[in-house]
Amino acid sequence: MQELLSNLLKPKTLNDIVGQKHLVGDNKILNNMVKNNKLFSFILTGKSGSGKNSIANALVNDLNQNYRYFNAVIHSKKDLDIIFEEAKLYKNLILIADEFHRLNKAKQDLFLPYIENNLITIIILTSQNPYFSINPAIRSRCQIFKLEELNENDILDGINKAISHLENISITEEAKKMISKLSNGDLRFAYNLLEVAYYYDEKHNITENLIKEINPESNKFLDKNEDSYYDLLSALQKSIRGSDVDASIYYLALLIERGDIESILRRLIVIAYEDISLANPTMGIKVMAAYQNAMTVGLPEARIILSQIVIEMALSVKSNSSYKAIDEALNLIKLKDYGVNPNIKIHTTTYKYPHDYKNNFVNQEYLPTEIKNKKFYIPKTYGFEKNIKSYYDFINELKKNPK
């Protein structure tokens, strides 16, 4: 059986890598590791298809060193024990550890003594945020390198390389661009779609219409990276902000049709803190719960979770006071150099500890003298924020009339 195109195109060296020039370009960190023949433990994080495996394998090929590969999904504790024994035997064994976030804390800890004693130089690959998915003790012994999402030009470069491996192929520029758009930064997907299209047509003529025929969902997704997609996200936010529940559901439905629920959920997180905020501060927690549940079940069931949270958000009381407060402070800092020498320094003899005083409050200046009377936060008077305002007014009264 003929080898898959994506396997044929696996990079042999860092020079073969598509994109990621901030890591593999001239005089960049990974290229310099090869030049200096010195490898350090590091973590590669990035979305699926961004090139984590390709970079790791190309790097060890360039270094011309033996290595071991461990995948947390398919390999067992027994496989790991064999690697650890080899590390003791050979010293400073290179290990590529894929899907590392799948290991629980106890299993991740097994790597520590080998990394710490320089028996293993580890290259960790993960699609998850390493600050949440990888133990701090492991992270502190590794540099973290984030792979950038491949853009359409990167994908087009990869497609043009792939074409040279396909005999008698004829492909239009429009078809290339469509494959690039549909791949959404996933080079492996682009290679697979190109290969399917190549064998789908007997004469290997690949056109835009052929791609649409192979992938009938393409029309829904083609706008995902265009202005119209972000216009829809903006329309959803404005509708929720304006408490128009029907418009909110309508724009949600249009976004769901494009299939990218993660972008919808990220926007809902922003709305929870920008537009609802202190008027209903538990909304952020609810949106995060909806995020986790929607990502767990996926579409089509995720539409129900999204509908419920969007309805609740649209009909929630609103406040933008926290958003306005931080922007006011940031704007002031940009205009003048305030805050470099705060009035209150921890551990100085002038500082008064509020908990030693009645109402856990003592009147003293915290802001720099030049802006000591500046007000950044202006509370609203509805929703949960009215409770915050009540305490805010109480504190201000104590400042005016200390007891």
Band of residue 2 on the pLDDT scale cut at 50, 70, 90: low
Is there a single domain that holds both residue 131 and residue 92? yes
Asked which of 56-70, 116-130, 314-328, 355-369 is least confident by mean pLDDT, the reply is: 355-369
Determine, yes or no, domain membership for 336.
yes
Quote the mean pLDDT of the chain. Answer: 86
* Angle between the N-to-C axes of helices 227-241 and 261-271, in degrees from 0 to 180, rounded to the nearest 10: 40
Determine, yes or no, domain membership for 118.
yes
**The pLDDT of residue 367 is above 90:** no
- Phi-psi map region of 10: left, alpha, beta (phi>0 left; psi -120 to 50 alpha): beta
Please name the amino acid found at residue 143.
Q
Proportion of the chain above pLDDT 70, given as a percent: 92
Give the CATH number for residue 34.
3.40.50.300
Is there a single domain that holds both residue 253 and residue 204? no
CA 139 to chain centre: 17
**The pLDDT of residue 222 is above 70:** no
**The pLDDT of residue 1 is above 50:** no
Three-state DSSP class for 76?
Answer: coil
C-alpha radius of gyration, the chain, whole number: 27
> Which of the pair, 311 or 133, is modelled with greater confidence?
311
Is there a single domain that holds both residue 301 and residue 339? no
Give the CATH number for residue 371.
1.10.3710.10
Residue given tokens 């012994």 in the structure block: 141
Please name the amino acid found at residue 298.
G
Is there a single domain that holds both residue 179 and residue 281? no
Mean pLDDT across 309-327: 95
Residue given tokens 């992270």 in the structure block: 139
> Which of the pair, 339 or 81, is modelled with greater confidence?
81
Q: Which two tokens stand for residue 400?
A: 């005016």
Determine, yes or no, domain membership for 323.
no
Determine, yes or no, domain membership for 53.
yes
Of 56, 49, 62, residue with least CA distance to 15: 62
Q: Render the burial of 12-36: b for 16+ CB within 10 Å, e for the rest.
A: eebeebbbbeebbeeeeebbebbee
CA separation for the pair 346, 302 (Å, rounded): 48
CA separation for the pair 392, 93 (Å, rounded): 60
**Range(s) of the domain holding residue 159:** 152-221
Is there a single domain that holds both residue 364 and residue 347? yes
CA separation for the pair 225, 98 (Å, rounded): 29
pLDDT in tens, 39-50: 999 999 988 777
Three-state DSSP class for 292?
Answer: helix
Q: Return the pLDDT at 217.
A: 61
Is there a single domain that holds both residue 134 and residue 252? no
CA separation for the pair 36, 38 (Å, rounded): 5
Q: Do residues 48 and 139 lie in contact, with contact meaning Cβ atoms separated by under 8 Å? A: no
The H-or-E segment that residue 257 falls in is helix 245-257
Query: For residue 100, what is the DSSP state?
Result: G
Q: Return the pLDDT at 226.
A: 52
Give the dihedral sign, CA 291/297/299/301: negative
Determine, yes or no, domain membership for 249.
yes
Is there a single domain that holds both residue 266 and residue 343? no
Give the CATH number for residue 274.
1.20.272.10
CA separation for the pair 86, 80 (Å, rounded): 10
Phi, psi of 93 (to 5 degrees): -75, 135
Q: Which two tokens stand for residue 98?
A: 């894929």
**The pLDDT of residue 78 is above 70:** yes
Q: Return the pLDDT at 345.
A: 58
Strands 120-126 and 143-146 turn out to be unpaired
Q: Return the pLDDT at 322.
A: 94
Give the dihedral sign, CA 270/276/279/283: negative
> Which of the pair, 402 or 291, is modelled with greater confidence?
291
DSSP-H helix ranges across 36-111: 52-63, 77-90, 105-109
Domain boundary among 287, 314, 341: 314
Domain boundary among 93, 118, 146: 146
**The pLDDT of residue 335 is above 50:** yes
Number of folded domains in the chain? 4
Please name the amino acid found at residue 261.
I
Q: Return the pLDDT at 8.
A: 78
Is there a single domain that holds both residue 299 and residue 394? no
Is there a single domain that holds both residue 19 and residue 142? yes
- Counting Cα atoms < 13 Å in the Cβ hemisphere of 202 gives 0
Of 321, 23, 289, residue with least CA distance to 148: 23
Three-state DSSP class for 93?
Answer: strand
- Residue 257: how many other CB atoms lie within 10 Å: 13
